[in-house]
Amino acid sequence: MSSLRILVGCKRVIDYAVKIRVNAGQTAVEVAGVKHSMNPFDEIAVEEAVRLRERHTKDPASGSPKVEEIIAVSCGPAKAQETLRTALAMGADRAIHVEVDEKQAANLQPLAVAQLFRAIIEKEKPHLVILGKQAIDDDAGQTGEMLAGLLNWPQGTFANKIDITGDNAMKVVREIDGGLETLSTKLPAVVTTDLRLNEPRYASLPNIMKAKKKPLVKMTPADLSVDITPRLETIKVTEPSKRQGGKKVESVDELLDKLKNEAGVL
Amino acid sequence: MLAPIRPAALRSLTRQPATWSQQSSVRCFSASSHKLATLLVVEHKNQTVAAASLNALTAAGKLGEKITALVAGNNAQKVAEEVSKLEGVANVVVADDAAYDHGLPEVYAPLVVATQKQMGAKHILAGHTAFGRSILPRAAALMDVAQISDITAIESADTFVRPVYAGNAIATVKSIDPIKVITVRTTAFPAAKTNAQAAAPVEAAPSADKASPTEWVSEELSKSDRPELASAKIVVSGGRALKSKENFELVYKLADAMGAAVGASRAAVDAGYCDNSLQVGQTGKIVAPQLYIALGISGAIQHLAGMKDSKVIVAVNKDADSPIFQIADYGLVGDVFKILPEMTEKLAK
């Protein structure tokens, strides 16, 4: 393997800056008419794939493999194609959309997504799969680990730095609870991105135009022979308990006095 | 005006394991009810049980099943003995092998699966930490079951409560899988206690495939004498308004005057004022201390996700319209560079 094929996952989620609302029936959060965008961790995944290509082209003497192709994959409703076009505009070469209808998409769970990805990976045979460490909607943080388990591939989760050191070797610096940890592993592998891995680029207008012409293949879970039946049933979704807005104090003395005598926490 | 923290969780501290969970699990899995069991995957470092595992043990206790604790690592015997004395642990299985050092999921997940198979565990729990989050989903996939991440409450043997959308919605989910794989939000459950009188029996864990493509190379831990962020009683956090790494020293000084842990907003971490591992929020640490002091932090959704269950929140910010003031119990509008030294000085007295 002197060239590297990278597969990246992108999820369409409610934009991170939106203040979400629980629907009246307490069955889900309101999604209609709400701004969506690519999951921030997935933007980092796409960016890292593109940077690996740039890095390895610029430095051919390093002996690290050239990135031959970047494939962006999204599982979700028809609108997930917008997310894939964003990935293409950032530098992915082609896209695969596993289309599920709106209703199923609302309850498409990490295990099902990992199984869909496995089916695609068995066809596309990438050497490296980069996913976000978690989606900011379900906050599950499972898909990458599950996928690595299903494929029996090594995993480098919460990546802070990725270094392809040779045809079959990779170093990953991970963000762990007390600091950072470095692992060395083999390819193929699954990596999940942490916030500090990179700063994603904005797609330029010419690249957005070009992305419209890049290939995007549609398929269904049935095409991949994957059963996406949810294993978790959502009983209800509620608003978190509201905190009472507190009071303003005028001085440090007043603050310390309140903390000691009113709140009793000092 | 201060709501007590999670009254349900506190109440249950003093209660026996609820009987409903046994009943409902018997209903669900009558075929195997004779061996209802829970597996706790214990995290440890430097021969000490991680605090998160003590919280996860309390959560495991609420299921009302027999709890087996899995301890793996090089020279794991001492940790196993420590675990055997924890209240609620019925027995301990040990995989004493250097392959399990550093918690590599490639070897740990097969061990969890082998242990589950041998003991017939219906529930597998670990703390929602970097360790638990790396291993449990992999193990769940190997068993073809879902995982339930970061639970904050247990409603019954198959129904769990977990925050979604950065804690802006609370979902109650029911699992239809035969095995429930769960990571536990540590701040939502009190730590289990040591019960030195009765040490649980310790036996060897089943063998599992130890071949791993991954090798641990090194780690770089931020050294600190301060309390651990996730379990500290007081947390002092700094944000973008600190403006530099040098100024961030003011946050450390206040923290030291109070015996507090130090946290930070993403902005402060990204700007390099402090270490990554101090980030509080949706993608960093979740904390729920008695007192959380936010200094120069505006209060973005993602930050609030990590600290809004604190008992008392104090905000110091020069912008009176900052969202942080909407959730702060006490707000002080002003310049952090004036207020911080003054607070430090007055608290040091």
Report the chain A residue with the minimal C-alpha distance to residue B284.
A177
Q: Are B85 and B161 found together in one domain? A: yes
What does the alpha-carbon distance between residue B55 and residue B58 come to, in Å, rounded to a whole number? Answer: 5
Structural domains in chain A (count): 1
**Token digits for B169?**
């919605």
Asked, for residue B71, whether it belongs to a domain, the answer is yes
**Token digits for B316?**
């110091």
Q: Are B197 and B274 found together in one domain? A: no
Distances (CA, A) of A62 to A35, A59, A67, B182: 43, 6, 13, 43
pLDDT score recorded for residue A64:
76
pLDDT score recorded for residue B33:
42
CA distance A235 to chain B (A): 5
pLDDT surpassing 50 at residue A45: yes
Q: Side chain identity at B269, as an amino acid letter? A: V
pLDDT score recorded for residue B178:
97
Interface predicted TM-score (ipTM) of this complex, two decimals? 0.96
Portion 210-249 of A in contact with B at CB < 8 A: 231-241, 243-249
Q: Are B164 and B278 found together in one domain? A: no
B240 is in an annotated binding site: yes
What does the alpha-carbon distance between residue A113 and residue A128 come to, in Å, rounded to a whole number? Answer: 17
* Residues paired with residue B280 on neighbouring β-strands, in sequence order: B285
Q: Are B196 and B67 found together in one domain? A: yes
Report the chain A residue with the minimal C-alpha distance to residue B52.
A177
Q: Do A177 and B222 touch (CB under 8 A)?
A: no
pLDDT surpassing 80 at residue B91: yes
pLDDT score recorded for residue A61:
61
**What pLDDT band is residue B16 in, cutting at 50, 70 and 90?**
very low
Terminal Cα distance for chain A, rounded = 62
Q: Are B168 and B306 found together in one domain? A: no
Residues 6+ apart with CB under 8 A from B150: A139, A141, B128, B162, B163, B183, B184, B185, B286
The closest alpha carbon to A87, from A224, A216, A188, A197, belongs to A216
CA distance A26 to chain B (A): 9
Asked, for residue A183, whether it belongs to a domain, the answer is yes
Mean pLDDT of chain A: 95
Q: Contact A129/A121 with Cβ under 8 angstroms?
A: yes
Asked, for residue B286, whether it belongs to a domain, the answer is yes
Q: Do B328 and A157 touch (CB under 8 A)?
A: no
The closest alpha carbon to B80, from B180, B204, B170, belongs to B204
**Token digits for B127?**
């703390």
**What pLDDT band is residue B197 in, cutting at 50, 70 and 90?**
confident
What does the alpha-carbon distance between residue B227 and residue B235 come to, in Å, rounded to a whole number? Answer: 9
Q: What is the mean pLDDT of residues B161-165?
A: 97
The pLDDT tens digits of the residues spanning B238-296 come to 999 999 999 999 999 999 999 999 999 999 999 999 999 999 999 999 999 999 999 99
| B210: Cα separation from own chain's centroid | 27
**What pLDDT band is residue B2 in, cutting at 50, 70 and 90?**
very low
Q: Do B313 and A196 touch (CB under 8 A)?
A: no
Q: What is the CATH number of the domain that holds B244?
A: 3.40.50.1220
Q: What is the mean pLDDT of residues B113-138?
A: 97
Cis peptide before A188 (omega within 30 of 0): yes
Asked, for residue B161, whether it belongs to a domain, the answer is yes
B279 is in an annotated binding site: yes
What does the alpha-carbon distance between residue B209 and residue B104 come to, in Å, rounded to a whole number? Answer: 13
**What pLDDT band is residue B62 in, cutting at 50, 70 and 90?**
very high
Structural domains in chain B (count): 2
Question: Structural domain of residue A209, as residue ranges?
Answer: 3-241
Asked, for residue B271, whether it belongs to a domain, the answer is yes
Portion 310-349 of B in contact with A at CB < 8 A: 311-314, 320, 325-333, 339, 342-343, 346-347
CA distance B138 to chain A (A): 5
Report the chain A residue with the minimal C-alpha distance to residue B280.
A177
Q: Are B141 and B247 found together in one domain? A: no
State the DSSP string of B140-198: HHHTT--EEEEE-EEEETTEEEEEEGGGTEEEEEEE-SSSEEEEE-GGGSPPPPB-TT-
Q: Do B283 and A178 touch (CB under 8 A)?
A: no
Report the chain B residue with the minimal C-alpha distance to residue A248.
B331
Question: Structural domain of residue B127, as residue ranges?
Answer: 38-204
Q: What is the CATH number of the domain that holds B107?
A: 3.40.50.620
pLDDT surpassing 90 at residue B336: yes
Q: Do B330 and A249 touch (CB under 8 A)?
A: yes
Q: Do A247 and B342 touch (CB under 8 A)?
A: no
B135 is in an annotated binding site: no
Q: What is the CATH number of the domain that holds A183?
A: 3.40.50.620
**pLDDT, greater one: B342 or B28:** B342
pLDDT surpassing 70 at residue B22: no
Which of the residues B133, B295, B347 would you substitute to probe the A interface, choosing the one with the greatest number of A C-beta atoms within 10 Å?
B133
Asked, for residue B8, whether it belongs to a domain, the answer is no
Q: Do B137 and A237 touch (CB under 8 A)?
A: no
The pLDDT tens digits of the residues spanning A136-193 come to 999 999 999 999 999 999 999 999 999 998 889 999 999 999 899 999 999 999 999 9
**Token digits for A234?**
């959502």
Asked, for residue B135, whether it belongs to a domain, the answer is yes
Q: Are B342 and B291 found together in one domain? A: yes
Q: What is the mean pLDDT of residues A231-244?
A: 94
